[in-house]
Amino acid sequence: MTEVPPREVDEPTLLVTLTGEDRPGVTSALFSALAQTPATVLDVEQVVVRGQLTLAVLLTTGGSESVRAAALDVAEELDMKVRCKRGTGDAAHRREGRLHVTLLAAPLLPAAIAAVAEKLAEQDANIDRIRRISRWPVTTVEIDVSGGDVPSMRREISVTAAAHGIDAAVSPAGLARRGRRLVVMDVDSTLIQGEVIEMLAGHSGRAAEVAAVTERAMRGELDFAQSLHERVAELAGLPESVLAEVGDAIQLTPGARTLVRTLQRLGFTVALVSGGFQEVIAPLARTLGIEHVEANRLEVVDGVLTGRVRGDVLDRAGKAAALRRFAESEGLPLSRTIAIGDGANDLDMLSSAGLGIAFNAKPLVRERADATVNVPFLDAVLYLLGIPREEIEEADRADDLDTPH
C-alpha cells in the first residue's frame, strides 16, 4: 500500500467565506474557479438560512495569490460578499469533550438561547455549530459543543433551562449517539393519556375511592405496592370483559405512534414497563408492534376480577430491573438505553438508563432526570436524539402516512 506523506503543518492556507442570496450555481461557480488554481480543499461548510447563503472553504494556496484572486472574481460576478483570511495549517480539530445540547420550547425565545450560551462560555465550552431540528409544533435547536463534560453540563444546563421555561438535553457526541438502542417507556400518562386503573374504577363505580387511595400515596402515606393493592381491591367483582372495553377506550398521547414507528424504522427496540396491568397493556403493545412488555397482572376467577394482583407488584425497583433484563436480552449495554417516564415510580428506571427523560413529569422527577420534555407531544423525544422533524415527515410520506399535529 502506498504510504501517505505527512501534511505540512505550516503550509499557507486561505479561508474563503462567501455570503449572499442563495441560488443554484453558487457553489459550482466558486469551485470551478478554484479548480484553475493550485488550491486543495481542507474543509467546507455551507448553510442556508431564510435564503441567505454562507459558504466557507479552507484551502491550501501553495503560496499563490491566484487562489484569493479567483475567490474575489467569483464574488464580484455573483454580486456576493467575500472575506479571505490567510493562515497556516488546518486548525479544524475540535477540543476533547464533544457533546450536544438540545433546546426545545414553544416558543423558543432569544433570552433562553443567550442564557444557555452564557452558561457554556462560563464552563469554557465552545459552540461549534447550531442547527434547527424542528420548527413546529415546537422549535428545537441542537448545539454542537466541544470542551464540555456531560455530567456537569447536564447539571448546569438543566438549572438554566428550568429558569427560562424550556426543555433541554445534554448528550455525548460521536459514536455514542449512533447505532441501535433500547427505548423503555412508562405507559400511564406517558404513552397513553390518563391512568388505566382509574378507567377501570370508573366501570366499577368506585372512582372516588380509588382517587382517595391515590391521594394518600401522593402524600407519602402509602408506598406504591400498598396503594396498588388497595386500589385493585376496589375493582373486585368487575367482569373480565371490562378489560377489553378499557383497552378500546385508551387514547394514546399525541405523537406516540410517530415516536414508536420512527424508532422502529431506525432499528431501535421499544419496550413498555408499567405499574398498570398486562391484560390491558399487552393488546395495545401488539397494535404498535412492541414485543417487550412488563406490567402487573390482575387475578381473574370465573370471569370476574377478584380485587387481587397475581405475583409480585412491579414497583419502582421492578421497573429498573425490567429495563436491565430487556437490555441484556437485546445484547445492549445500559449506556445504549433510553427511559421515558413521568412519576416517582419511574425514578430508578430513569437513573439506570443511559438517558433518562422526564415527560410532563412531577417536579421531583424533572429535577433528577437527564432531560425533560414538557410539551404535550411524545414524539418530541425524537428531537432530543437529534432526529429532525423533516426526516420524520419525509419517511411518513414515503409510507403514505400523515405525521400528526
Task: Verify whether residue 188 is a known catalytic residue.
Answer: yes
Residues of 245-274 as b/e, b for ≥16 C-beta within 10 angstroms? ebbeebebbbbbbbbbbbbeeeebbbbbbb
- From CA 249, how far away is CA 199, in angstroms rounded? 9
- From CA 378, how far away is CA 389, in angstroms rounded? 13
Residue type, 36: Q
DSSP state of 323: H
Where are the alpha helices (H) located in 164-295, listed in sequence order? 196-204, 207-218, 224-233, 241-249, 256-265, 278-288
- From CA 202, how far away is CA 231, in angstroms rounded? 12
Task: Verify whether residue 186 is a known catalytic residue.
Answer: yes
308 with 243: CB under 8 angstroms?
Answer: no
The single residue of 22, 167, 186, 342 carrying the catalytic annotation is 186
- From CA 285, how far away is CA 296, in angstroms rounded? 15
The single residue of 22, 90, 167, 188 carrying the catalytic annotation is 188
Active site residues: 186, 188
